[in-house]
């Protein structure tokens, strides 16, 4: 297991470098000169050249990339064009909120999704099964930002049960977490159902039933344990969708997180913040995926990962 962990960590390194390269290259596609953008209209050519030199933009592209990588590993993601503060500081101020939202959403994804999937699998073809799968279909089809707006309309505007916007208390977390976690819960429910049905129909489960074991024991001790393995992978992948989804949900609920920072930065053409925000979110996702891989390996040592 330790060898596997080390090997996976080593495999993660080129992916991280690749992510940094893609982010760097995407930002090179921006039309116009960043030095002109910073200097502002009416700035002299000398001023623009000085800024270009300070930012290293007068150097060849490969050298700019190497400098960027070195800066990233030193924790320097540049300076915000808008606020003039270090991008890392702007991100660190907002990242905890996004992580809290993502974690709350993943709890909803796992709890709701697995309960729904188990009920659906153990009552296959029943009304409950059909209803759960219909709700799951809605969950993967409804735009998250629209779902958020509808929840706000119903729970906040019409019945004043929960706050419309803001962050800081459990009341503020509920609607955004449901909005963000709904599609994940739907996917987990479908996966859990499918996975459990595959296991439930296997011979060893039939044998356990024939031996007279209680259904609850069969479901939770035998079937669920084996069905969990592919579900863990799906949950890990969903974390990525959640991280990406925070961009939309934070905008709907006016939450001051990393997602909203990135969107505001795009609108303001504050490209260092966009670059830094996307990079940080992606690196987090890479490590979450690594964690999921290791968990998968731990739960199923027989699976060949290579």
Residues that bind another protein (CB under 8 A): 14-15, 18-19, 21-23, 26-31, 137-138, 140-146, 149-150, 152-153, 157, 239-245, 247-248, 251-252, 262-263, 265-267, 271, 274-275, 278, 281-282, 284-286, 289
CA distance 299 to 214: 24
**Residue 74, helix vs strand vs coil:** coil
Shortest reach from residue 221's CB to another protein, in Å = 29
- State the minimum distance, in angstroms, from the CB of residue 216 to another protein: 31
Q: Say how far apart CA 192 and CA 140 lie, in whole Å.
A: 15
CA gap 122, 196 in Å, rounded = 8
Nearer to another protein, 97 or 282 (CB): 282
**180 within 8 A of 249, measured Cβ to Cβ:** yes
Q: Which is nearer to another protein, 13 or 303 (CB)?
A: 13
Q: Is 203 helix (H, G, I), strand (E, B) or coil?
A: helix
Smallest distance, Å, CB 1 to another protein? 23
The smaller minimum CB distance to another protein, of residues 232 and 249, is found at: 249
Q: Output the smallest distance, CB 140 to another protein, in A.
A: 6
Minimum gap (Å) between residue 14 Cβ and another protein: 7
DSSP state of 79: B
Q: Which residue(s) pair with 79 in the sheet? A: 86
The Cα–Cα gap between 210 and 201 comes to: 13
Cβ of residue 253: shortest distance to another protein, in angstroms? 11
Angle between helices 258-267 and 87-122 in degrees, nearest 10: 120
Whether the Cβ atoms of residue 169 and residue 248 lie closer than 8 Å to each other: no
In the complex with another protein, the residue whose CB is nearer, 88 or 242, is 242
| Contact present, 34 and 55 (Cβ < 8 Å) | yes
| Residue 65 or 222 having the CB closest to another protein | 65
Nearer Cβ to another protein, position 153 or 202? 153
Closest CA to 232 of 168, 188, 200, 189: 188
């Amino acid at each position: 297991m330790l060898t596997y962990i080390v090997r996976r960590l080593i495999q993660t390194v080129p992916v991280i470098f690749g992510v940094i390269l893609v982010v760097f290259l995407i930002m090179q596609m921006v039309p116009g000169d960043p030095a002109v953008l910073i200097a502002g209209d009416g700035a002299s050519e000398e001023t623009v050249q000085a800024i270009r030199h300070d930012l290293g933009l007068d150097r060849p592209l490969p050298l700019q990339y190497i400098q960027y990588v070195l800066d990233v590993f030193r924790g320097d993601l540049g300076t915000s064009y808008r606020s003039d503060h270090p991008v890392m500081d702007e991100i660190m101020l907002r990242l905890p909120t996004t992580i809290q939202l993502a974690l709350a959403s993943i709890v909803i994804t796992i709890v709701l999704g697995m309960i729904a999937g188990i009920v659906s699998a153990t009552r296959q073809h029943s009304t409950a099964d059909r209803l759960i799968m219909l709700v799951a279909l809605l969950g993967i089809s409804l735009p998250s930002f629209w779902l958020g707006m509808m929840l706000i309309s119903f729970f906040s505007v019409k019945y004043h049960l929960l706050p419309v916007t803001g962050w800081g208390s459990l009341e503020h977390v509920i609607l955004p977490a449901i909005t963000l976690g709904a599609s994940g819960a739907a996917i987990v429910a479908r996966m859990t159902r499918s996975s459990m049905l595959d296991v439930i129909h296997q011979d060893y489960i039939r044998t356990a039933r024939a031996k007279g074991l209680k259904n609850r024991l069969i479901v939770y001790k035998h079937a669920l344990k084996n069905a969990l393995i592919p579900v863990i992978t799906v949950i890990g992948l969903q974390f990525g969708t959640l991280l990406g989804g925070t961009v939309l949900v934070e905008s709907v609920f006016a939450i001051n997180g990393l997602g909203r920072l990135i969107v505001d930065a795009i609108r303001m053409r504050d490209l260092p913040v966009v670059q830094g925000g996307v990079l940080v979110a992606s690196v987090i996702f890479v490590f979450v995926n690594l964690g999921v891989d290791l968990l998968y390996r731990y739960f199923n040592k027989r699976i060949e990962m290579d």
